[in-house]
Amino acid sequence: MGMTITEKIIAAHCGAQSVCPGQYVLAECDLMMGHDVTAPPAIKVFEQIGRPRVSDPDRLVLVNDHFVPNRDVASAEQAKAMREFAAAQGVKKYFEVGRSGVCHVLLPEKGLVAPGDLVIGADSHTCTYGALGAFSTGVGSTDLAAAWATGKMWMKVPPTIRFEYSGKMPEWVYGKDLILETIGRIGVEGARYKAMEFCGETVKHLTIYDRFTMANMAIEAGGKNGIFEPDEKVREFLAGRGGREGAYLASDPDADYESTVRVDVSAQQPVVACPSLPENTRPVSELSDIEIDQVVIGSCTNGWLDDLRLAARVLKGKKAAPRVRLIIIPATQDIWKAAMKEGLFDIFADAGAAVSTPTCGPCLGGHMGILAAGEVAVSTTNRNFVGRMGHPKSQVYLANPAVAAASAIAGRIAHPANA
């Protein structure tokens, strides 16, 4: 019996000829990531383990991104703890404010992840790197500490669901819409502890940024990881980033899948996830009566330069509605600089938007856009749980950047074709 991409990567990292779903393995990690929220508790656990040094400081990545620039004393202490740990352990892949960005965009941007890698991170959206053909998954801070000490991760091999997408995507439909449509079909537990393998003719034509978005939100369906077969688009993205070549793997023709889900995108509309679960999806055309108070464009899900260009395309020459706060957050410092040089900031400023330094900020209700009671937001982020972006009586609708920008102009949820 053949193996899926996920199974091949896990087998290669535990020294086995093959692995199968349900098998427990101890796998070598290529990269182990923590950020200012999850690294500090991992540091405490690592100290309890009693080892003076991490197994390999070159495989550690530490990123300041969630509550930065520090919003209060508590977040400043968290960042300080991680900063001091990085210095003490000789961690060179430490990213400070002003030289950093949202971790799940920063790591690929810096060429730190290669196809065929096995990557863990103390953040659930670590599954983002599956867009490059890597096995990447989120872990808890305790697991991260153990991996720092040993360089290995204990895990169960997940079964794989194959998602086949066919048809030509209509205008204004992007990777965000495909993954929201998928989550809407299978539910937030539909792929619990399973690998989500994205394939099909439609996928071949997706941009690498659409793939990042889809892999990022695999966890919103409960997925252990999301993954794409790496191709020339991956090679083009990684070219010049100074990373390793990696292993360009494909699933075997006789690989064993738990199930197959087929999605025809030919008549797909932009999709919006309504409060308060990503599975609560509806076509944008059904939500035109929803008035909004805030729009957030950015995050690890849709904070790439392509996403900002899309938002600027809709916003150019337009104004955000008087009652709407429009907040735009480039995901990394390099993306911030590129957007500025392209003149996107002028478009955003003319539209009445506030442009932030890179941060996770409002995505997790951190800062830079907290919602008050009764307020409604459209956001390009990945979660809309109760209280996710602020007050528990606020509401968040998830959408692609074009829908978010169009909604900012209209003051209500709107299709970008009508902006």
Q: Residues 6 or more apart from 132 whose CB is under 8 A from it? A: 108, 113, 114, 115, 117, 228, 230, 234, 237, 238, 246
**Strand order, beta sheet including 31-35:** 94-95, 60-63, 31-35, 118-121, 135-138
The per-residue pLDDT for 1 is: 80
Q: How far apart are CA 381 and CA 371, in angstroms?
A: 14
Instruction: State the DSSP string of 348-392.
Output: HHHTTEEEPPS--GGGGT-SSSPBPTT-EEEESSS---TTTTB-T
Q: Are 293 and 261 in contact (CB under 8 A)?
A: no
Q: Residue 409 forms beta bridges with which residues?
A: none
Please state which CATH number belongs to domain 273-418: 3.30.499.10
Helix (H) or strand (E) holding 7: helix 5-13
Segments of the chain scoring below 50 in pLDDT = none
The per-residue pLDDT for 243 is: 86
What region does 99 belong to: left with phi over 0, alpha with psi -120 to 50, or beta? alpha
Q: Are 27 and 10 in contact (CB under 8 A)?
A: yes
Position of tokens 């079964």?
Answer: 159
Q: Would 5-262 and 273-418 be classified into the same CATH topology?
A: yes
The per-residue pLDDT for 138 is: 98
Position of tokens 């040993």?
Answer: 150
Instruction: State the DSSP string of 50-89.
Output: T-SS-S-GGGEEEE--SSTTT-SHHHHHHHHHHHHHHHHH
The per-residue pLDDT for 419 is: 83
Q: Are 388 and 395 in contact (CB under 8 A)?
A: no
Whole-prediction pTM value? 0.97
Q: How far apart are CA 252 and CA 229, in angstroms?
A: 11
The per-residue pLDDT for 140 is: 97
Each domain of the chain, given as residue ranges in start order, spans 5-262, 273-418
CA of 99: how far to CAs of 64, 112, 223, in Å?
10, 15, 31
Nearest CA-CA partner of 61 in 10, 4, 143, 119: 119
Please state which CATH number belongs to domain 5-262: 3.30.499.10
Residue type, 146: A
Nearest CA-CA partner of 279 in 357, 203, 219: 219
The 10 Å Cβ neighbour count of residue 79 is 23
Position of tokens 């000829």?
Answer: 17
* Tally: H helices and E strands in the chain: 14, 18
Chain segment 315-337, per-residue pLDDT in tens: 999 999 999 999 999 999 999 99
